[in-house]
């Protein structure tokens, strides 16, 4: 991991004191990430189910508050991790921002652009720093891809693909009432696929047009368990998205970025193939590029199997952003960008037509003429 991304892990300023809202699956990752950071302390947790908050507090050595108001009233909470169902992120985040707390909001930013905009506006108005979790941007392969893109090593980007072929059981969707609903979750694309949608958008730039098809193949749920989309980027490049929780037994999450001068393929956060027109690969040297991606492979079939290093790196960056008075590496707006792509896929599938993204058409037409 590059030093840039680890900034904040070692700094010795006054600790940032965290409160977590929502004591479910992902909150454990936040607690472990905070515990791994010398500059962070976990002080309190709240959940609408008080026993969950109590059990969590016991496990992770913090205090359980009876409700959100009590957690937000604490003067010793500086940062709130929002770990509630996705459709509640804006509502809870806005209350925390109004109480002057900095925000770590789990992905996706929320489930509608209107809610995302309300939250972004509230954080800005309150003058708090906000990041939306996209922990895979801090995975080693993505740090390296960012470096290659910034150096222009891939040339003009031509094609980008984000693929999440995962497997979730019906029991997963039945494990909480919010899962798979339009109001609080969305389907395989908005919950599981959004990570690599964010990486694709971050690598390739804004989208101009999306044409999509969604389907619910194997689960009893409101939203889709398969989403497919073809994309035209504002740059003129093209691409595809696939996101599913119906593909047995679950495969590596994959990002493929191709430019005129090279291609990088990432699986589960590690570069598994890279080829540049300027280099003739030595026979056999591909082995050094192949990673096993054990953490991500586990997540392909198991919602609870997540490493904490990349969450820790993102939280460290948020703390450094607060200390240095700068934007975090993953801004609230980029969380909105990923949601915008997902909403365009859903809209295209629902209306059976291509969706032109706001403000993108002119740029795309210019690119097509070049």
- CB of 35 vs ligand NAD, minimal distance in Å: 17
Nearer to ligand NAD, 236 or 307 (CB): 307
Angle between helices 113-126 and 89-98 (to 10 degrees): 10
| Secondary structure (3-state) at 22 | coil
2: enclosing H helix or E strand: none
Q: Which residue shows structure tokens 């996706």?
A: 108
Distance separating alpha carbons of residues 131 and 332, to the nearest angstrom: 5
Cβ distance 149 to 249 under 8 Å?
no
Residue 295 C-beta: closest distance to ligand NAD, Å: 11
Q: Are 26 and 81 in contact (CB under 8 A)?
A: no
Determine, following the binding rule CB under 6 A, whether residue 22 of this chain makes contact with ligand NAD.
yes
Mark the segment that binds ligand NAD (CB under 6 A) among 15-23, 148-156, 157-165, 342-350: 15-23
Query: Taking CB under 6 A as the rule, does residue 300 contact ligand NAD?
Result: no
Joined together, the tokens standing for residue 48 give 């609408």
* Member of 57, 84, 308, 312 binding ligand NAD (CB under 6 A): 84
The site string for ligand NAD over 186-205 (x = CB under 6 A, - otherwise) reads -----x--------------
Distance CA 40, CA 15 (A): 5
Q: Does 86 bind ligand NAD (CB under 6 A)?
A: yes
Per CB under 6 A, which of residues 221..280 are in contact with ligand NAD?
A: none
d(CA 62, CA 141): 34
Give yes or no for a contact between 199 and 162, defined as CB atoms under 8 angstroms apart. yes
Our answer to whether residue 107 is catalytic in this structure is yes
Beta strands at 226-233 and 207-215: parallel, antiparallel or unpaired: antiparallel
- Which range binds ligand NAD by CB under 6 A, 80-88, 163-171, 211-219, 315-323? 80-88
Q: Per-residue x/- marks for ligand NAD, 123-162, CB under 6 A?
A: ----------x-x---------------------------
Tell me the HSE value of 63 on the side-chain side, using a 13 A CA sphere: 14
Q: Based on the number of CB atoms within 10 Å of its own CB, is 142 exposed (0-12), middle (13-18) or buried (19 or more)?
A: buried
Q: How far is the CB of 166 from ligand NAD (least distance, A)?
A: 12
Q: Under rule CB under 6 A, which residues in 99-118 are in contact with ligand NAD? A: 106-107
- Map residues 303-322 to x or -, x wherever contact with ligand NAD holds by CB under 6 A: ---x----------------
Instruction: Pick the binder of ligand NAD from 6, 11, 15, 24 (CB under 6 A).
Output: 24
* Closest approach of ligand NAD to the CB of residue 22, in Å: 3
At 104 the three-state DSSP class reads strand
Catalytic residue, candidates 32, 101, 107, 165: 107
- Asked whether the beta carbons of 106 and 20 are under 8 A apart, the reply is no
Helix (H, G, I), strand (E, B) or coil at 118: helix
Minimum CB separation of residue 169 from ligand NAD in Å reads: 14
**Minimum CB distance to ligand NAD, residue 368 (Å):** 36
CA dist 105 and 108 (Å) reads 8
Residue closer to ligand NAD, measured from CB, 86 or 245: 86
Site residues for ligand NAD per CB under 6 A = 21-26, 46-49, 52, 68, 83-86, 88, 106-107, 133, 135, 176, 191, 306
Active site residues: 107
């Amino acid at each position: 991991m590059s030093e840039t991304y680890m900034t904040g892990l070692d700094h010795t300023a006054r600790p940032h004191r965290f409160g977590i809202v929502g004591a479910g699956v992902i909150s454990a990752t936040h607690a472990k990430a905070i515990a791994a950071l010398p500059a962070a302390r976990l002080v309190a947790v709240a959940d609408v189910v008080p026993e969950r908050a109590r059990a969590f507090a016991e496990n992770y050595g913090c205090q359980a508050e009876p409700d959100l108001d009590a957690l937000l009233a604490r003067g010793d909470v500086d940062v709130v991790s929002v770990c509630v169902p996705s459709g509640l992120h804006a509502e809870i985040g806005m209350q925390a921002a109004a109480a002057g707390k900095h925000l770590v909001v789990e992905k996706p930013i929320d489930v509608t652009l209107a809610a995302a905009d309300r939250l972004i506006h509230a954080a800005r108005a309150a003058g708090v720093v906000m990041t939306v979790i996209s922990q895979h941007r801090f995975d080693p392969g993505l740090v390296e891809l960012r470096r290659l893109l910034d150096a222009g090593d891939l040339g003009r980007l031509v094609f980008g693909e984000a693929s999440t072929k995962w497997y979730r059981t019906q029991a997963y969707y039945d494990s909480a009432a919010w899962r798979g609903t339009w109001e609080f979750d969305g389907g395989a694309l908005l919950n599981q696929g959004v990570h690599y949608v964010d990486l694709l958008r971050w690598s390739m730039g804004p989208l101009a047009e999306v044409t999509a098809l969604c389907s619910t193949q194997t689960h009893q749920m409101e939203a889709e368990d398969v989403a497919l989309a073809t994309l035209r980027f504002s740059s003129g490049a093209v691409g595809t998205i696939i996101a599913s929780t119906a593909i047995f037994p679950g495969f590596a999450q994959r990002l493929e970025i191709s430019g005129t001068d090279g291609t990088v393929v990432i699986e589960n956060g590690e570069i598994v193939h890279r080829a540049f027109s300027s280099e003739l690969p030595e026979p056999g040297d591909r082995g050094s590029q192949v990673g096993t991606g054990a953490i991500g492979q586990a997540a392909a079939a198991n919602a609870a199997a997540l490493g904490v290093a990349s969450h820790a790196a993102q939280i460290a960056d948020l703390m450094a952003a607060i200390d240095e008075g700068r934007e975090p590496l993953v801004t609230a707006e980029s969380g909105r960008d990923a949601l915008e792509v997902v909403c365009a896929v859903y809209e295209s599938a629902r209306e059976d037509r291509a969706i032109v993204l706001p403000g993108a058409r002119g740029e795309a037409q210019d690119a097509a003429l070049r």
